[in-house]
Amino acid sequence: MSLADLRKDYSLSGLLEKDLARDPFRQFDKWFQEAEAAKLVEPNAMTLATATKDGRPSARTVLLKGVDGRGFVFYSNYESRKGRELAENPRASLLFPWIALERQIIIEGTLAKITREESDAYFHSRPRASQLGAWVSQQSSIITGRSVLEDAMKALEKKHAGAEIPLPPAWGGYRLAPETVEFWQGRRSRLHDRLRYRRETDGTWIVERLAP
């Protein structure tokens, strides 16, 4: 079978303007709860797309760890590739690909680091092994082999035995403040529903329907 033969007509649901919540955060919460109820694997997994200041793009999957009226939060090593790109170009996009529900959510906006206090609180809520892992991995750097990670992990386990692990100075959270949030629902004949919230300069949200 060729790739051209891989075709599915979407028919699970539709999305009309009257169905939407008043703001994108409430609509996101509604769809997220439905993704959890459908028992999707890691419904908080999202593709994060960033770019250098001259427009060279990169993308990877990260996990959403918080959302409220201020934006969408995830955590990373600030010296990773995405961290370096966000330092010089703080604009990014998030994509939740809930294929089993024939849905996508696409979020665009600007990012900023959250406070060290917020990062510290989340860091110490993680499993101890994950805390050590944040120290071990110099994310995106070239290493000679897996033994580099395993040896460093053993050394840190010994160093911090019986003691609290401090928050690494180059690790913490980012919050994406959305400017647009698009809710995409697959429909038959590729006539998908695409409803986009767009933030006005006064902070209010308007809804626009986009052609599929």
Which residue in this structure is represented by tokens 């699970």?
12
> Is there a contact between 193 and 14 (Cβ–Cβ < 8 Å)?
yes
Handedness of CA 147, 167, 131, 158 (dihedral sign): positive
Would the annotation count 190 as a binding residue? yes
The residue from 22, 26, 116, 190 that is catalytic is 190
Ligand-binding annotation for 65, yes or no, is yes
Q: Is 138 annotated as a binding residue?
A: no
Cα three-residue angle 193-195-201, rounded to 5 degrees: 165
What the block records as the tokens of 52 is 């250098």
Say if residue 126 carries a ligand binding annotation: yes
Whether 62 has a binding-site annotation, put simply, is yes
The answer to whether 209 is a known ligand-binding residue is no
Cα separation, 158 vs 165, in Å, equals 12
Inter-residue contact 86 to 174 (CB < 8 Å): yes
User: How far from chain centre, in Å, is Cα 120?
Assistant: 19
Tell whether 64 is in a known binding site.
Answer: yes
189 annotated to a ligand binding site? no
Q: Assess whether 190 carries a catalytic annotation.
A: yes
- Tell whether residue 63 is among the known ligand binding residues: yes
Active site residues: 190
| Binding-site entries | 7-10, 60-65, 81-82, 104, 122, 126, 130, 139-140, 184, 190-192, 194
| Binding-site entries for FMN | 60-65, 81-82, 104, 139-140, 184, 194
| Binding-site entries for substrate | 7-10, 65, 122, 126, 130, 190-192
